[in-house]
Amino acid sequence: MRTMNLGLSGLAVPVIGVGCMRINGVGRLEAEAFVKTALDLGCNFFDHADIYGGGACESIFAEVIGMTPSVREKIVVQTKCGIRPGVAFDFSQEHILKSVDASLQRLKADYLDVLLLHRPDALMEPEEVAAAFAALHDSGKVRHFGVSNQNPMQIRLLQKWVKQPLVVNQLQFSIAHAGMVSLGLHVNMLDDAAVSRDGSILDFCRLEDITIQTWSPFQHGYFEGTFLGNKKFPALNAKIDEIAEKYAVSNTTIALAWILRHPAGMQPITGTMNVKRFKECVKAADIQLSREEWYAIYLAAGNTLP
């Protein structure tokens, strides 16, 4: 598995990250086989969040990987905090510190490689976030920091106070959810694709050396299902299947290769616990789509060029 730089962290990570949100949905043996496969394929970057499975996903992961200090040093662990389900988004210093301690306990680890703030908190006080990050960094509990689902001004506000570089912004992005690309193509136009919904976050992250991690890389809408094999997207699937046949890979591989082709150097975060499908995801790291193929897929998804 080829690697990439994760923002300004100095970490060299696999170009495809392993999302662990669904690890609590499979049996122990299946989870063990999946994690072993990921490691055998060179995918040692694991993405978590304290709310995944109500914390169970972090615990299960620690168990199936057999977490020890020697194992911990061979993997990169990222988790997220800030969501109190059904209650509030909470970036208070108290909540961040408490959440990290709980995640470390569940993960049976002494430190996190990366901590992301999950979903923007309308009541965020950047001074409190900065204090929490400083305490976590100084204690060695967290080595690097980032955000999730934030726009440029929200990140700028944090950057004014937080001393550590923000190395990641995790955003929803796929062939069928490509608004942050469409915006850049429809500059100075009056159509819907020209509407700025994210403040040009794609270009901002490139300028700031913040790695965009793409969540739900096979989804359309907001958890409305995958576009692959979906009858709602006949032209898109026909085009993906045509290109997949050319490269002798699956449609899953091409869908991720499309994301990896973008020069922003995005890191897709997978969500599958199926070993076969994960292997198809990993193959995307070896596919370099041509400019013509990339645009053909983009247009087949119903996107337009002005």
- Out of 52, 111, 222, 295, the active site residue is 52
Q: Where does 20-125 have alpha helices with state H?
A: 28-40, 56-65, 69-72, 93-107
What is the distance between the alpha carbons of residues 48 and 280, in angstroms, rounded to a whole number?
21
The letter for the amino acid at 215 is W
Known catalytic membership, residue 247: no
Give residue 91's Cα distance to chain centre: 20
Q: Residue 251: name the closest of 283, 209, 207, 292 by CA.
A: 283
Contact between residue 138 and residue 167 where contact means Cβ atoms under 8 Å apart: no
List Cβ neighbours of 124 (8 Å cut-off, separation of 6 or more). 91, 157
Structure tokens, 34? 């999946």
Contact between residue 111 and residue 138 where contact means Cβ atoms under 8 Å apart: no
> Nearest 5°: phi and psi at 45?
-105, 115
Q: Residue 265: name the closest of 5, 69, 79 by CA.
A: 5
Please tell me whether residue 140 adopts helix, strand or coil conformation: coil
Rg (alpha carbons) of the chain, rounded to whole number? 19
Size of the chain in residues: 306
What is the distance between the alpha carbons of residues 38 and 17, in angstroms, rounded to a whole number?
10
What is the distance between the alpha carbons of residues 174 and 223, in angstroms, rounded to a whole number?
12
Q: What Å distances lie between residue 22 and 48, 57, 230, 265, 273, CA to CA?
A: 10, 7, 22, 25, 7
Catalytic residue ranges: 52
